Amino acid sequence: MTLTDGPSPLMEFTEVDPEEDCICGGCNARRRARLHAAPVHEGGHAAARSTRRRAAVLVAAVGTAIGGGTAAAAPAPGPTPGGSSTAQPPRTPQGEVSGLYGQDPGARSATPQPAAQPVTRARIIQRAQAWVDQAVPYGMGRYWSDGYRQDCSGFVSMAWGLGSSQTTWTLPNFAERIDRNDLQPGDVLIYNNPANPQAGSHVTIFGGWTDSSRTRYVAYEQTSPGTRKRSTPYAYWNNSGSYLPYRYTGLSGGSNDGTGSTGSTGSTDAFPGAAEFGPGANNGYVTRLGQLLAQRGGARFYTEGPGPRWGEADRRATQAFQLAQGWRGGEADGIPGKDTWDFLVHHKGHDIDAGTPPPSP
């Protein structure tokens, strides 16, 4: 295309893709044009998108020539906190990597952030449950009041306490691959669609096995219409064979730790003593107990959690596990002793039979 002033050509333009790291006004304008153009697989037309890009090149270049090197383009409105956004939503099933509230991930946030807390398994599940309780609506281009994008990968980024909203393709950069049999609450299952990287990918948070055969698990996930917690067939309802298990490498105390009592030291695999359990107990060992019981078939006793505050669900699940070992009387009182803890931590003995009626309240 050629611009002319009278019979003589003034300048000539060719269509080029914007440089990703260039900050000049022209490239900024072209990137905005490329972002807002609908992709072909969603009904957009390749020729129309090309026309928009050429128009953006022309406008940016003319602005540069007239304005002395800076394109006079107004910045696009940014997303606002609180679960809504005035910005044009991305036209992909999951947003791109972004900072809190949709800011540039490399920019320093102007919003004061609370001091980072140690990332433990209990903390991951608590944060995930908070979105479940709030029924956070699904939105690929929206950001919740805590700053995280309201899609599946933004949900996991929030639960893991990352300082930005990642994607299903970048979350593995913060994790390590594990075996299915090593899954523990707070780990995730990721599916990336190789045929169309921008569609169909998904991630769920593993909350514990719901049966002794390990064919179903409690899944925390962000999916339309909003955050949910439900029993899910392993690994998922569809594309089951393509989901891969991962563990966040930033877990406090190491990849297999992270649910110890606040202020306590040492591994949570060691029995902490019966005083840490029972009515009035509120600590990380109670959470750890509930998670272990859920993996051995006790998830059906919990309508929420497991959490750090001792409750009737913990007692009944513990008693069901003790009865499954053939223990009776004082050995099956619903309070974990050293043997109960040892069997759970080291996966010994029998799982809770899904067909056995739960102990009476």
Q: Is 242 helix (H, G, I), strand (E, B) or coil?
A: helix
Whole-angstrom Cα distance, residue 299 to residue 208?
A: 7
Look at residue 85 and tell me if it is in a domain.
no
Same domain, yes or no: 162 and 218: yes
84-85 vs 79-80, strand pairing mode:
antiparallel
Look at residue 236 and tell me if it is in a domain.
yes
Same domain, yes or no: 222 and 281: no
* CATH number of the domain within which 228 lies: 3.90.1720.10
Whole-angstrom Cα distance, residue 340 to residue 325?
A: 9
Look at the alpha carbons of 344, 346, 350, 351 in this order and tell me if their dihedral is positive or negative: positive
Look at residue 111 and tell me if it is in a domain.
no
Same domain, yes or no: 179 and 236: yes
357 Cβ contact list (under 8 Å, min separation 6)? none
Same domain, yes or no: 244 and 121: yes
Same domain, yes or no: 152 and 237: yes
The residue with greater pLDDT, 188 or 63, is: 188
Res 353 pLDDT > 60: yes
Among the three residues 180, 215, 248, which one is the final residue of a domain in this structure?
A: 248
- Give the whole-number percent of the chain exceeding pLDDT 70: 64
Cβ–Cβ under 8 Å, residues 291 and 259: yes
28 Cβ contact list (under 8 Å, min separation 6)? 18, 60, 71, 73
Same domain, yes or no: 290 and 234: no
Same domain, yes or no: 60 and 34: yes
Among the three residues 218, 248, 278, which one is the final residue of a domain in this structure?
A: 248
Look at residue 102 and tell me if it is in a domain.
no
Look at residue 154 and tell me if it is in a domain.
yes
What are 271-307's pLDDT values in tens digits? 888 888 998 888 888 988 998 998 898 888 988 878 8
What's residue 313's pLDDT? 93
Look at residue 188 and tell me if it is in a domain.
yes
What are 130-179's pLDDT values in tens digits? 999 999 999 988 999 999 999 999 999 999 999 999 999 999 999 999 99
- Give the whole-number percent of the chain exceeding pLDDT 90: 42
Whole-angstrom Cα distance, residue 16 to residue 223?
A: 37
Look at residue 225 and tell me if it is in a domain.
yes
Give me the domain span that covers residue 62. 2-67
319 CB neighbour count, 10 Å cutoff: 23
Mean pLDDT of 95-100: 87
Same domain, yes or no: 125 and 52: no
Same domain, yes or no: 304 and 356: yes
177 CA to centre of own chain: 16
Whole-angstrom Cα distance, residue 118 to residue 199?
A: 33
Res 37 pLDDT > 60: no
Q: How far apart are the first and last CA of the chain?
A: 80
Look at residue 220 and tell me if it is in a domain.
yes
Res 91 pLDDT > 60: no
What are 115-125's pLDDT values in tens digits? 467 888 989 99
Res 216 pLDDT > 80: yes
Among the three residues 216, 248, 280, which one is the final residue of a domain in this structure?
A: 248
Count of domains forming the chain: 3
Same domain, yes or no: 228 and 149: yes
Whole-angstrom Cα distance, residue 335 to residue 18?
A: 64
Cα Dmax for the chain: 103
Same domain, yes or no: 240 and 346: no
Same domain, yes or no: 222 and 317: no
Model-wide pTM > 0.85:
no
The token pair that represents 155 in the structure block:
């949900």
The token pair that represents 243 in the structure block:
């989901």
